[in-house]
Structure 1
Amino acid sequence: MASGFAYLPALVSPWVENGTLAKYLEGTGREISKGDRIAILIKVGEALHYIHSEHVVHGDLTGSNVLINAHGRPLISDFGLSSITEGYNMTSYFKSHKPGSIRWVAPELLGEVEPPLKPSVESDIHSYGCVMLHTLSGKVPYSEIRDIHVPYAKINGIRPQRPSSLPIEEAHWRMIENCLDTAPEDRPKLPDIIALMKR
């Protein structure tokens, strides 16, 4: 923890050798087994569940905000859009209303409602589903369309296509689709997702 950065303390983290999950998945000459991919997802799910249990919403979970250490273990980073869900004024310094990467953000955060919706546990679940898709397939969500078309697809309930590059088990694909449900209240809970990944 460092101080002297405006109103908030700054977090200083150690160097992570393998970089981001996105880069790790794209690494040339690296074979990542299905078991290793699932182990990454379990650890990310457990970390996200812990964050939520502390009344914090990440708000910007993407393949670029998960770091992979030298032992292949994931670490969630970049809490720039996170918010504390209880005990603080939600308009505080802890968050911005601008969502992170468009391919991972929940559709309800893209709407034109006033006041704008804030990231939530449910929007983090949507983002986790996108991380699942990316990790299991090696393809970013909505890899079949350009960035500019992604908001339209999300707002209109169009889900990403099931990639054929790396086969995704049917149970995992159904869970991804459940995480990406357009109705936030219908998305699964993290303990249920983690239990499925551990089977």
Structure 2
Amino acid sequence: MVKQERAVRTRRALIEAAAEVFAEEGYVLASLTTISGRAGVSNGALHFHFKNKQALARAVEEEAALAVARIVEGTGAVGGGVLQELVDTSYVLMDRLAQDPVVRAGFELGGEGREGAGSCQQGWRRWVEEAVVRAEREGGLAEGVSSDAAACTIVAATVGFEVLGAQDPAWYAEHRIAGFWELLLPGLRGAEQKEDHTVR
């Protein structure tokens, strides 16, 4: 049992170290030696858990994708409808991106062009698309607003905040996210919901 717990801790330390190094240096430049050193384990221990850098990157993305799935499952709006849920969830995601190197690296690795990459971005995009379609069905979108156009705008903006935030964490700040929603929400909301949403 002790050996198993130690293996779990070592694997977790490697994933966190890899996330930090991938976020700092990018996937291509990141070296396994740097990652194992950051994790405080030997190269042999790294290779015991992960066959190569691609396998380690995949593990980071999987951890990040699970975290994003928990975010979107756990932030349903209490009143306010689906658009409020979108607003609230975007704040939680940006806070997590600012605080959690694994989630941040998961998004960044999705843009590396590796085979099989992109599960975080894809998961977020799917959830936003489904949420906007729900909002449309419930009459939460203004007349003439396309759910596809709305989803594209929200995904592009939030992924853009992630990309910019990786270089300058000020982009994750609450007031920046609020500014985005203050601009977007008036054009999205149906007339009966004009006063029902808060942007913080």
TM-score under structure 1 normalisation? 0.31
Name the structure with the higher helix share: 2
Name the structure with the higher strand share: 1
- Structure showing greater radius of gyration is 2
